[in-house]
Amino acid sequence: MKKLFILVCLAFTLTAMAQAPQAQQEIPKSSDITFDTGAASYAIGYRMGLQAAGREGSDFALDIDQAVKGLREAASKTEPSVSREMMTAEYGKYQQKLQLYQREEYMELADKNQTRSDDFLAQNRGKTGIKELASGIQYRVIEAGAGKNASLDDTVSVHFSGKLIGTEVFDNYQEFDSTYKNGQPLEMDMKQIGMLGWREIIPMMKAGDKWQVFLPPEMGYGVKGQPPIGPNEVLVFDVHLLEIK
């Protein structure tokens, strides 16, 4: 479960790497690897074609004939049919337009997700057992533990599963990570917890507690997201605080 572990507590990853020696693997030499030039060349062209096909019908559709012509002229080192000045200018404008378009699409998705997140939290607020903090974090206690609370000097061991709310039906949660799958709990130094939501919730929990936690976007990954988590997504965590060390 290194993915979310890195997101939540990078420092622990570095510590684990230092403590767990890895077997040395011999790195092959480039001369040991052979390939079919024709097939590899075709694969490169095919991948370029897939990218071009994805832009068909948009403002970014490519003229395939011109693209192949440019490829041939560059590969044969002949004088380009289009001046270098024009290539630089037009390619620059193409890239600028594409970047702006991608940003606009991303922000449109961020706005859509923010609305969904707000709607979900508003509905969730009225459900049985839900409590809400000033930060907007919502939680419910599934099982109360009898242990102590963790301090900043402690290391905690937790099991968790992280989920996203459903696209059509909010409660159709989609799991993106879980320590339960391999039975290996996550250990975190309290000082190294990076996610704002976890930084607030974990000290509130006692050893043995099982909580379901709902983090608003700003307490999770915000507008930046963290694939597969999109921008402005609510994060739902089932957290079991196993022990405090």
pLDDT for 151? 92
Asked, for residue 136, whether it belongs to a domain, the answer is yes
pLDDT for 5? 40
- Residue 181 phi, psi dihedral angles, 5° rounding: -65, -40
Asked, for residue 185, whether it belongs to a domain, the answer is yes
Instruction: Work out how many domains the chain is built from and give that number.
Output: 1
pLDDT for 24? 66
pLDDT of 231 over the 50 cut: yes
pLDDT for 232? 98
DSSP symbols for 191-236: GG--SHHHHHHGGGPBTT-EEEEEE-GGGTTTTT-BTTB-TT--EE
pLDDT for 237? 98
pLDDT for 167? 80
Asked, for residue 239, whether it belongs to a domain, the answer is yes
**SS3 call for 146:** coil
Element (H, E) at 156: strand 155-164
| Model confidence pLDDT, tens digit, residues 121-164 | 999 999 999 999 999 999 999 999 999 999 999 999 999 999 99
Asked, for residue 23, whether it belongs to a domain, the answer is no
**SS3 call for 169:** coil
Asked, for residue 18, whether it belongs to a domain, the answer is no
Tokens coding 50: 């897939």
C-beta separation of 139 from 239 below 8 A: no
CA dist., res. 122 & res. 23, Å (int)? 51
- Residue range of the domain that includes 197: 130-244
Chain mean pLDDT for the chain? 89
pLDDT of 184 over the 60 cut: yes
pLDDT for 60? 86
Contacts 24+ apart (CB under 8 A), 50-58: none
pLDDT for 11? 38
Asked, for residue 163, whether it belongs to a domain, the answer is yes
Q: Which CATH number belongs to the domain containing residue 140 in this structure?
A: 3.10.50.40
| Model confidence pLDDT, tens digit, residues 7-56 | 444 333 333 444 444 556 789 899 999 999 999 999 998 998 888 887 87
CA dist., res. 195 & res. 200, Å (int)? 9
Torsion of CA 145, 146, 151, 157, to 10 degrees: -50
Rounded to a whole number of angstroms, the distance between the first and last alpha carbons of the chain is 21
Q: Cα 211 vs. chain centroid, distance in angstroms?
A: 23
pLDDT for 58? 83
DSSP symbols for 53-83: HHTTTSTT---HHHHHHHHHHHHTTPPPSS-
- Residue 213 phi, psi dihedral angles, 5° rounding: -120, 135
pLDDT of 62 over the 90 cut: no
pLDDT for 25? 77
